[in-house]
Amino acid sequence: MQKPAKYYDSSNMTEEDVKVLPHQELEYFDGKIKIYATLNTDQDKLRDNIKENISRGHEQIWAWKDQDTNVCMVGGGPSLLDTIEEIREAQNNGAKVVALANTAHVLLENGITPSAHVLVDAKPNNANFIEDLDIPYFIASQCDPTVFDKLEKAGRKVYIWHAVNDADEFKVIHDQYDKWIPIQGGPTIMLRALRLFSVLGYHKFEIFGFDSCMLEGKHHAYDQEAADGDKAVKIGCNGRDFDVTGQQVSQAMEFMNMVKVFGQNWKMLVHGNGLINHLIRTGAR
C-alpha cells in the first residue's frame, strides 16, 4: 500500500510540543521536525520485570494453527462508544472480542463480555485495568509484577508474551528460554496485539477504538489522566483536518508500515471515524 497521507501545518512545532511512546526516533512532516520516542518506563525496571515474570512459569504464547474466526480488537479511542452496537453484533455473529488495556470495563458496562484481555504497558496502574473474568489473559513479560499477582490470586489463565524493545531485553528473554517468539510491531498496544494474534493464527480483524486522533476534544472513550497533558496539533490528511498528538501520529505511521508488511495476510475492517479509518478509505481511492 502506498503512503496516502501528506502531513503539514507543523512549521511552528518544537520538539517539546510532541510527546510519543516507544520505540524509535521518527521523522515526519516532510523533515520539518523529529519526534523522539522514549520508553515510558526505566529500562532497568523493564528488564527486572521481565526476569521476575518469566520466573513465574506461565505458558508462553506459541504459533497456533490458522483460525477462521473473526477477532474484534477493542482499543480505547474516542470512537469506541459510538461503535458498541457493532461490537455486540459481531460477537453475536461468532466473533471473539479482545479487550486491550483499559477497555474491559467499557465492554462490561455495555453488556459485552470479552473473550480475552491483552496488556502490554509496564506501568503498575495497569493492574487496575483487570476485571476478574474467566477468560485467558495475554500479558507481556514487561508488565509490572502486580498485574501477574492479581491474576494469579484470582486463579486466571495467563499466557506470557514478549514485547521486545531493545537488544538488552532480547538477551534477558533469550537467556530464560530455549525457544520463544518476539512480538514486535510498533509502540502501542493495538499494533502489538495485531501481531500477537497473527502469531496465534488469526487473520480476520475488526478493529474498534483505533482512531489515532482526538475526536470532539477527547483522546479516549473514558477518563485517562495520563494522557490529559498530551499536546495536540492540527494536521491535514487527504482533505480532512485532524487534531493529533505525537503518539497518535507515530501510531498512524507505524500502522501504515505494518500494513505494507503484513496486510496481504489480513482481512481488516477499521470502525469509527478517526484518522486510521480515513487513511484506509482515502488511500484505497
Task: Count the Cβ atoms, other than its own, within 10 Å of residue 92.
Answer: 9
pLDDT in tens, 148-167: 999 999 999 999 999 988 88
Q: Residue 58: how many CA atoms within 13 Å on its side-chain side?
A: 27
Confidence of residue 238 (pLDDT cuts 50, 70, 90): confident
> Regarding predicted confidence, which is higher, 283 or 45?
45
Comparison of pLDDT for 61 and 41, the residue scoring more:
61
Arithmetic mean of pLDDT, 42-69: 94
Is it the case that residue 82 has pLDDT exceeding 50?
Answer: yes
State the residue for C-alpha cell 505494507: 260
| Rounded-to-integer distance, Cα 97 and Cα 103, Å | 11
Return contacts of 145-150, CB within 8 angstroms, 24+ apart. Answer: 145/49, 145/52, 145/53, 147/119, 148/53, 148/56, 148/58
Structural domain boundaries of the chain? 15-284
When pLDDT is cut at 50, 70 and 90, the band that residue 39 belongs to is: low
Residue the block writes with cell 518506563: 41
Q: Phi and psi (nearest 5°) for 71?
A: -120, 125
Dist. CA 25–CA 187, nearest whole Å: 11
